[in-house]
Amino acid sequence: MTVLAQQRAPEIDSITQRDMKADLTFLASDAMGGRLTDTPQNAAAAEWVASRFARLGLKPIGDGGTYFQTYTLATATLGEGNTSSLGAMGTDWYPVRFSPNASAKGELVFVGFGISAPERGYDDYGDPKSAETIKGKIVVALDHEPGERDENSVLDGVVTAQAADQLQKALAAQARGAAGILFVTDVHNHEAPPAVTGAFTIAWPAQQPRIPRYMLGSWVEQVKIPAAQVSRTVVEELMAGAKVSGTLIDLARASETATGSKPVAFSGAEVQVTTAVNRKLINDRNVVALLEGADPKLKEEVVIVCAHYDHDGTNGENVLNGADDDGSGTVGVIEIAEAYSLAAQKGQRPRRSVLFAAWNSEERGLFGAWAYTQKPILPLAQTAAVLNMDMIGRNEEVLEGGGARFRGLELQTAESNNNAVNIIGTTRSASLKQSIEKSNSGIGLTLRLRYDNNISQLMRRSDHWPFLNSGVPAVWVHTGLHPDYHTPNDDADRINYPKMEKIGRLVYQASWELATASTRPALDGAK
């Protein structure tokens, strides 16, 4: 297919490697302390981004007319009073971290994987008769998802579906009237020891880790029913007492369907569980600014250009500066915002509005972007597309023995990727893919369209993912992992600035194309 040339976006030449290097040298300096969530250095990074937006004359659209959108994170500690009829806490069962202080008593119902994803044609609660079976009962759900090693899975291929997250399963059970939920290992796919001692130690370590384990406050506050992990031994004993036909492995294998399984009642098997978990809420914030579009109608729609400004702090004497991850994307957003501002000063504005966002707490679980999709400043239905830049400053390099961080990625040299950039998420929107390819015709980068359905899980490892799960066309612009990823060597002096300049210009050109086009890109579906 021939890609037509495109008129260059105004002021595109203002995006320069010199400016990017100057900004990144500051943002990724030791003085910024690795920009870890809930630290003074992280707060300083947010203030710096906001000051840059203000200097460019962009509209503050955060809380109270500021450049900040606030939300909450939550941490958890094990409380006193965790009791159940399931056996010894820490051996036979334990409360999961998002569980509230709550109690439940009732008979058990097995619900397969406990996933509700009707938009994919899959629902373990889809049987109309299941509502009566579930209400007031405690459900037992398998961990993970069906077809987790199947590239053609009805969910997200080999990428873990968001609906398979334990918290989402708890909310699905709660929505059906369940009194509580118990999780058990999907024993037909994963080995499961008879006890949960090891998993309990990981979930509730005796010594708190350097970086707290955060959750999104708006999510955990929705969970009202007790949620616990139980051993396979406990479930098998309950099945035996209820005279359920077959074994846990039999039930698990029967749950491997393309549409969802039917609930199986453990008649007569009644359990009691009380979970006690202490939650602490912590304020967190994104940095957001708007350039209003020129079209009286289309300016109500928005294109989002974004990155995340947080990183991993310090580890002993080592500062994890996160120059590539994701200082590079953050300064890319600033440079693109400047190009828009300069163009607007000369009377050139796109038809749609453009939202510039620096998300926080991506490293902790994409929480800034998830928080935005939970409470968007501008309606998601009016969001035309999201262009997310995360790590745009290096060459992908995967060496032998790189470890689990590089799982599923082919061995490759940095030299082979000197002019290449991965565009992740294009399989979800053919029209968005075409816009990016057209925009690249005058830039000349090598676009690698891969990793959308890969066991590396890259598809769900950056801030485009919450938007895709919210029905918005979105892509991740990403130069790839490398040996310095998440190490003290991710410094500003190792960045490929000429390439980073080209990527900044590509994203600007693509965002201008999207913000001026007569039509919006469409979301095509999974995989």
Please report the pLDDT score of residue 41 as a whole number: 98
Please report the pLDDT score of residue 6 as a whole number: 67
Query: From CA 326, how far away is CA 336, in angstroms rounded?
Result: 16
List of residues 6+ apart from 333 with CB closer than 8 A: 305, 306, 307, 356, 357, 358, 389
- By DSSP bridging, strand 302-308 and strand 353-359 are parallel
Residue 461 DSSP class: S
Please report the pLDDT score of residue 99 as a whole number: 98
pLDDT tens digit at each of 527 positions of the chain: 344 446 999 999 999 999 999 999 999 999 999 999 999 999 999 999 999 999 999 999 999 999 999 999 999 999 999 999 999 999 999 999 999 999 999 999 999 999 999 999 999 998 877 778 999 999 999 999 999 999 999 999 999 999 999 999 999 999 999 999 999 999 999 999 999 999 999 999 999 899 999 999 999 999 999 999 999 999 999 999 998 999 999 999 999 999 999 999 999 999 999 999 999 999 999 999 999 999 999 999 999 999 999 999 999 999 999 999 999 999 999 999 999 999 999 999 999 999 999 999 999 999 999 999 999 999 999 999 999 999 999 999 999 999 999 999 999 999 999 999 999 999 999 999 999 999 999 999 999 999 999 999 999 999 999 999 999 999 999 999 999 999 999 999 999 999 999 999 999 999 999 999 999 999 996 54
Copy the structure tokens of residue 155.
């969910």
Give backbone dihedrals phi and psi of 500, rounded to 5 degrees, phi first.
-60, -40
Please report the pLDDT score of residue 4 as a whole number: 47
CATH 3.50.30.30 describes domain 81-275: yes
Beta bridge partners of 264: 110
- Correct CATH for 12-74+280-516 of 2.60.120.260, 3.40.630.10, 1.20.1250.20, 3.30.420.40: 3.40.630.10
CB atoms within 10 A of CB 466: 24
**Biggest alpha carbon–alpha carbon distance for the chain:** 77
List of residues 6+ apart from 209 with CB closer than 8 A: none
Please report the pLDDT score of residue 114 as a whole number: 98
Q: Cβ-count burial of 274 within 10 angstroms (0-12 exposed, 13-18 middle, 19+ buried)?
A: middle
Query: From CA 408, how far away is CA 395, in angstroms rounded?
Result: 17
Query: From CA 354, how far away is CA 372, in angstroms rounded?
Result: 15
Residue 7 DSSP class: P
Residue 224, CB-side half-sphere exposure with 13 Å CA sphere = 7
Between CA 295 and CA 305, with CA 299 as vertex, the angle to 5 degrees is 125
Is residue 326 reached through a cis peptide bond, with omega within 30 degrees of 0 on the bond before it?
yes
Kindly write down the DSSP assignment for every residue of 22-85, as one continuous string.
HHHHHHTSGGGGGGBTTSHHHHHHHHHHHHHHHHTTPEE-SGGGSSEEEEEEEEEEE-S--EES
CB atoms within 10 A of CB 422: 25
In 3D space, the residue among 151, 65, 119, 10 whose CA is nearest the CA of residue 455 turns out to be: 151
Does the fold of domain 81-275 match that of domain 12-74+280-516? no
Between CA 221 and CA 228, with CA 224 as vertex, the angle to 5 degrees is 105
The domain spans of the chain are: 12-74+280-516, 81-275
The SS3 assignment for 286 reads: strand
Copy the structure tokens of residue 231.
């051993």
In 3D space, the residue among 369, 515, 390 whose CA is nearest the CA of residue 451 turns out to be: 390
In 3D space, the residue among 288, 281, 367, 311 whose CA is nearest the CA of residue 37 turns out to be: 311
Copy the structure tokens of residue 257.
């369907």
Q: How far is CA 497 from each of CA 32, 390, 398, rounded to the nearest angstrom? A: 21, 15, 20
CB atoms within 10 A of CB 223: 20
- Run of H or E residues at 329: helix 329-345
